[in-house]
């Protein structure tokens, strides 16, 4: 990773850590959780009144997204859902309610402060079918072919490796699985420099892909049935959009082949995983390669 990319990732982490601390400190004070200061294009205003009312105030207050992915993902009873960049947990908790006790909702975030806040909100909500994982969205710590739906709310634009995000999302989805994302997308006429003029990277503007770039990235990862629909403007010639796509049902063999050699480990992230080099352990092989499934989660 380049020095610039490292700096951008750290700037994003600091911003969202500070946001989580602000909400937590508000809870500890007499005034309770107050919504973070964002304009009308972002935050809890993107959710219906009854959705906000059913959740702990902290989860609502910590919302910084540009949409409501749970409203477009068409979640069904019993499904397993993964939220990329889960923040304070609002979309994980809403997903958990929709998939019910036979389903499960995972939240993935790199920021310890947000994870701590999310765990607290899940406890207050009494949610028992949720799990929060620490990690990056470019290296998802879950096995291949295990998730029914991947959602995300204005987070992929913050990644410094968007092809990596799309590839990892494709990997963890089961064949026939789908994505339902909210994200910022730029008109094709805007150059990266022009996007940066409209807002900074940590503010979800400068790092946004164009419509054509977003579609090409998903296609390169293997997705089909791609639909990108703008919902409301967030800057001049830039939009919040709903992105839907599907992992083909015949993708199982290709995905298994790709993950079979993952991280120098065969059968990566399963109970049968073994180091490809017999002279090393699984843990050593994963550490050496920076594997995205180092935790060996086998839910």
Q: Please tell me the predicted confidence (pLDDT) of residue 111.
A: 87
Q: pLDDT by residue (tens digit) across 163-205?
A: 999 999 999 999 999 999 999 999 999 999 999 999 988 888 9
Q: Which residue in 36, 28, 42, 24 sits closest to 204, CA to CA?
A: 42
35, 65, 221 from 38: Cα distances, Å? 8, 10, 33
> What band does 95 get if pLDDT is binned at 50, 70 and 90?
very high
Q: What is the pLDDT of residue 37?
A: 45
Distance of CA 89 to the CA centre of its chain: 11
What pLDDT was estimated at residue 115?
92
Q: For 254-290, what is each residue's pLDDT tens digit? A: 444 444 435 555 555 554 566 555 556 767 766 665 5
Q: Are 145 and 172 a contacting pair, CB within 8 Å?
A: yes
3-state helix, strand, coil in the chain (%, to 5): 40, 20, 40
> Who's near 221: CB < 8 A, 6+ residues apart?
163, 166, 167, 169, 170
Residue 8 pLDDT > 60: yes
Q: What is the pLDDT of residues 197-242, one digit of tens each?
A: 999 888 889 999 999 999 999 999 999 999 999 999 999 999 999 9
Give the Cβ contact number of residue 245 at 10 Å. 26
The pLDDT of residue 30 is: 40
CA angle 237, 240, 245 (to 5 degrees): 115
Give 29's contacts (C-beta < 8 A, 6+ positions apart): none
Task: Report the predicted TM-score, pTM, of the whole model to 2 decimal places.
Answer: 0.76
pLDDT digits (tens, 9 = 90+) for 63-76: 566 777 887 788 99
Cβ atoms 211, 227 nearer than 8 A = no
Greater confidence, 78 or 49? Answer: 78
**113-153 pLDDT per residue, tens:** 889 988 998 999 899 999 999 999 999 999 999 999 999 99
d(CA 165, CA 213): 14
Tell me which residue of 209, 202, 219, 216 sits closest to 239, measured CA to CA: 209
């Amino acid at each position: 990773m380049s020095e610039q990319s490292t700096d951008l990732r750290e700037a994003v982490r600091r911003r969202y850590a500070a946001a989580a601390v602000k909400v937590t400190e508000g809870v500890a004070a007499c005034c309770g959780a107050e919504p973070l200061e964002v304009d009308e294009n972002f935050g809890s205003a993107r959710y219906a009144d009854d959705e906000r009312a059913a959740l702990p105030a902290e989860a609502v207050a910590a919302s910084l997204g540009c949409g409501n992915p749970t409203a477009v993902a068409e979640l069904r009873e019993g499904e397993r859902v993964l939220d990329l960049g889960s923040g304070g947990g609002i979309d994980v908790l809403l997903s958990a309610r929709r998939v019910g006790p036979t389903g499960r909702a995972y939240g993935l975030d790199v920021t310890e402060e947000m994870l701590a806040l999310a765990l607290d909100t899940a406890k207050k909500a009494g949610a028992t079918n949720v799990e929060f994982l620490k990690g990056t969205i470019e290296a998802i710590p879950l096995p291949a072919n295990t998730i029914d739906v991947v959602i995300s709310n204005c987070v992929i634009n913050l990644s410094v490796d968007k092809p990596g995000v799309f590839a990892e999302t494709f990997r963890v989805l089961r064949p026939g699985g789908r994505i339902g994302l909210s994200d910022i997308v730029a008109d094709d006429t805007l150059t990266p420099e022009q996007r940066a003029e409209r807002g900074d990277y940590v503010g979800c503007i400068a790092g946004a892909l164009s419509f054509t770039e977003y579609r090409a990235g998903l296609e390169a990862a293997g997705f089909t049935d791609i639909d990108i629909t703008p919902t409301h403007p967030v800057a001049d010639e830039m939009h919040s959009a709903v992105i839907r796509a599907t992992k083909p049902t015949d993708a199982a063999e290709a995905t298994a082949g790709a993950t079979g050699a993952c991280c120098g480990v065969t059968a990566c992230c399963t109970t049968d995983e073994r180091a490809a080099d017999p002279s090393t352990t699984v843990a050593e092989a994963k550490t050496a390669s920076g594997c995205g499934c180092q935790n060996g989660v086998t839910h």
